[in-house]
Chain A
Amino acid sequence: MTINPKAKLEETQDGTVVYNFDPLIVKSHYEIDYVHSYAQDSEFFKALGRQELMGSKCKKCGYTYGTPRGHCMECGSETEWYKLPNEGKIHAFTTCYFGGEAFLNETPFHLVLVEFEGVDSLFMSRIIGVDTEDLYVGMPIRAKFRRNLKLNPTDVYFVPKA
């Protein structure tokens, strides 16, 4: 047992950043590393290292997905992995001049929704090697892959088809 009426917190030099005194507004810092599992989507990210784009195909109804999902939303059945073509067409596009804070230093960049021949749903990606005025719906484009993987969906990106 310790009863110490003279107990005292140690003083520090940390201080705090103050933006305003009335009302009192201070800086509050927060950061975190997540242990993020790709779980049933893992194969998609691994396949990017083989320069393959993987979607899903429903084992029961045959619906094909340009972005993988473990179960079919048409009939609820399990899907299997399905190799997508490395070429497609622009379904919709934009050029982002702003973005989430983490991506501001990459602006401007283009986002596209890609449609693949014979595949029922789309895939969202970046396209490079074009200006906004070059982009149009229906533009033929081709997937390219990073050699040194980041193991996130930026390992694949699109360029205009030669």
Chain B
Amino acid sequence: MKNKGQDVYMISGGVTKFTKASPEADFRLRTKKAFDYALNDVGMTLKDIDGSVASYFSDHFQRQLMSGIMAQDYLGLTPKPSKRVEGGGATGGLSFQAGVEEVASGRMNTCVVYGFETMSHVNTWKGNEFIALASDTNFDYPIGGFYTGYYAMMATRHMHEFGTTVEQLAKVSVKNHGNALHNPYAQSPMKITVEDVRKSPMVSYPLTRLDVCAMSDGAAVAVLANEEKAFELCDNPVLIKGIGTGTDTMRLSDRPHGKVILLPNETEADYKNLKYPGVHSFRAGRSAAKEAYQSAGITDPLEELDIVELHDAYTSSEIQTYEDLGLCKYGEGGHFVEEGKADLKGKVAVNPSGGLLACGHPVGATGIMQAVFMFWQLQRTIKKHFKDDALQISNAKRGLIHSHAGTGTYVTATIMEAVK
């Protein structure tokens, strides 16, 4: 970053249990519950909050525009400054970074980022249609394009390019659903096998139902502060060490076939014959990682990161993302999961929470949920919040959260670091 501004810390968080449908509460009440949890955890009150960022993706799901201000007033935050940030699946990550910027710039000493989505007001396939409208409506949506279909094409290309197998994809599902058995906030904890994943109904070849995340109702809240307020309000804050954001074309068909954007631990010789990004890789994910690593001073991500919470909307995209983040070289993602390197006790724990595959994906809440779980990991307070410490990565010092939109159109990477 050219100018990092003042240091920003996360000082508290809250998440509601993600569910297929929670009609007993609307998005305002859900957000309020996550918000109160976060405030109570550090004994904050409304007067400690300078402003906020609202994170939600779609006005279509509830046919309610300006939901952001409805959450703002329900939480009692009016007339403090606020804005809504939206960028598809990366809405949560973008909003979290917008909150970081509010504090880094010195505009606010404390900023609350609240995210929510209520997807249960339409059936799953209408929901898929709404999400598909987040693709080019002249060319891609009208031929029956929808997101699992787009990711499935990227997966078949990844398989062609690198020899990735459907069993390797399935391993991601087994790992993440399994981790979630110890996460009380997760929507779909499951003990499953590779065979279960492959025998699950095909959604879009090669992706089955268990290769794809679910739609959800949920909310999540993160509280950010500058150094002075962080240590005044919280005895165990977590430093936001660096942020990065990348973008790529809306249409998959527009993706170029050029040269790999290299991370510090790679050389051109690693990728002599690889046309990049094509549709096998996410250039936005790589760009986000590169900026985040630069700002955090990371040169060897696999050695310097203890935990990654990444946007596994599809098993294939988790494998693609290992590569974008430089946890392994391009093409090695399938082996990376197969060899257990992404396991809870692997080289770097990837999605110890269960990720989107198992936690669910209430879009605007998802990226904030990742921040909250990472915050608890780095505070080493998983046991306190989960009532179970099976997922606590011991001695976790540094983590990366990764939020991802479209077919990799907006991607954010944020590095968080334990202070204690």
Residues of A within 8 A of B (CB): 20, 23, 25, 28, 30, 36, 38, 41, 65-67, 69, 73-74, 91-104, 106, 109, 111-113, 120-126, 132, 137, 152-154
Decide yes or no: A124 and B254 within 8 Å by CB, A97-B202, A101-B125, A101-B128 being known contacts: no
Tell me if B157 is interfacial: C-beta within 8 Å of chain A.
Answer: yes
Could you tell me if B256 and A121 are in contact, using CB atoms closer than 8 angstroms?
yes
Task: Please state if A120 and B128 are interface contacts (CB–CB under 8 Å).
Answer: no
Asked, given contacts A101-B125, A153-B142, whether A94 binds B149 with beta carbons under 8 Å apart, the answer is yes
> Which residues on B sit within 8 Å (CB–CB) of A152?
142
Measured between beta carbons, the chain A residues less than 8 angstroms from B146 are 96, 98-100, 103
Q: Which of A69, A95, A98, A125 has the most B CB atoms < 10 Å from its CB?
A: A98
Select from chain B the residue with minimum beta-carbon distance to A98. B203
A111 near B156 with CB under 8 A, answer no
Q: Which of B77-133 contact A (CB under 8 A)?
A: 123, 125-126, 128-129, 132
- A154-B143 contact given A97-B202, A101-B123, A124-B251, CB 8 Å threshold: yes
Taking CB atoms, residues of chain A closer than 8 Å to B257 are: 120
Q: Is A153 within 8 A of B139, CB to CB?
A: yes
Does B76 count as interface, using CB distance less than 8 angstroms?
no
Other A-B contacts than A25-B23, A66-B253, A97-B203, 16 sampled, CB-CB below 8 A, are A20-B23, A67-B139, A69-B254, A73-B249, A92-B154, A92-B160, A95-B204, A98-B148, A99-B149, A101-B125, A111-B143, A122-B252, A122-B253, A124-B251, A124-B252, A137-B156
Interface set of B (CB-CB < 8 Å, partner A): 23-24, 63, 123, 125-126, 128-129, 132, 137-146, 148-149, 152-157, 160, 201-206, 249, 251-257, 279
Task: Please determine whether B125 and A153 come into contact, CB atoms closer than 8 angstroms.
Answer: no
**Which partner residue on chain A sits nearest B280 by CB separation?**
A92
Q: Which residues of A contact B155 (CB under 8 A)?
A: 94
Q: Which residue of B lies closest to A100 (CB)?
A: B129
Residues of B with C-beta under 8 A to A101:
123, 125-126, 128-129
Cα distance A41–B138 in the bound complex, in angstroms: 8
* Chain A neighbourhood of B143, CB < 8 A: 111, 124-126, 153-154
Q: What CA separation (Å) do A68 and B384 show in the bound complex?
A: 54
Residues in B whose Cβ lies below 8 Å from that of A120: 256-257
B253, A113: Cβ atoms closer than 8 Å: yes
- A36: chain B residues at CB < 8 Å are 137
How far in angstroms is the closest Cβ of chain B from A138? 8
Chain B CB within 10 Å, residue with most, of A94, A104, A121: A94
Residue pair A100, B128 in contact (C-beta under 8 Å)? yes
Return the contact of B157 from the options A91, A125, A153 (Cβ within 8 A): A91
With A38-B138, A41-B138, A94-B156: A121-B254 Cβ-Cβ less than 8 Å: yes
- Which residues does chain B contribute within 8 Å of A30, judged by CB atoms? 63
Contacts of A69 in B (CB 8 A): 254
A115 CA to B123 CA in the complex, in Å?
35
- Cβ contacts A to B, 17 pairs, < 8 Å: A94-B149, A94-B153, A96-B148, A99-B125, A99-B146, A100-B125, A100-B126, A100-B128, A100-B141, A100-B146, A101-B129, A104-B125, A111-B145, A111-B149, A120-B257, A121-B256, A154-B142
Say whether B160 contacts A137, CB under 8 Å.
Answer: yes
Query: Are the C-beta atoms of A93 and B153 separated by less than 8 Å?
Result: yes
* With A67-B253, A91-B279, A104-B125 as contacts: A132 and B205 at CB distance below 8 Å: yes
User: How many whole Å from A139's CB to the nearest CB in chain B?
Assistant: 11
* Contact in complex: A94, B152 (CB < 8 Å): yes
Q: Would you call B144 and A99 a contact (CB within 8 A)?
A: yes
Query: Which residue on A lies nearest to B140, using beta carbons?
Result: A124
Q: Which residue of B23, B145, B201, B249 contacts A23 across the interface (Cβ within 8 Å)?
A: B23
Known A67-B139, A103-B146: A124·B249 in contact at CB below 8 Å? no
Q: How far is the CB of A83 from chain B (nearest CB, A)?
A: 17
B132:A100 contact, CB within 8 angstroms: yes
CB closest chain-A residue, reference B249: A73
Q: Given the known A-B contacts A73-B249, A94-B156, are A65 and B23 also in contact in the complex, defined by CB atoms under 8 Å?
A: no
CA distance A31 to B141 in the complex (A): 18
The complex places the Cα of A65 from the Cα of B257 at a distance, in Å, of 12
Return B320 CB to nearest CB of chain A, in Å. Answer: 13
Count chain B CB atoms within 10 A of each CB in A36, A38, A92 and give the residue with the most: A92
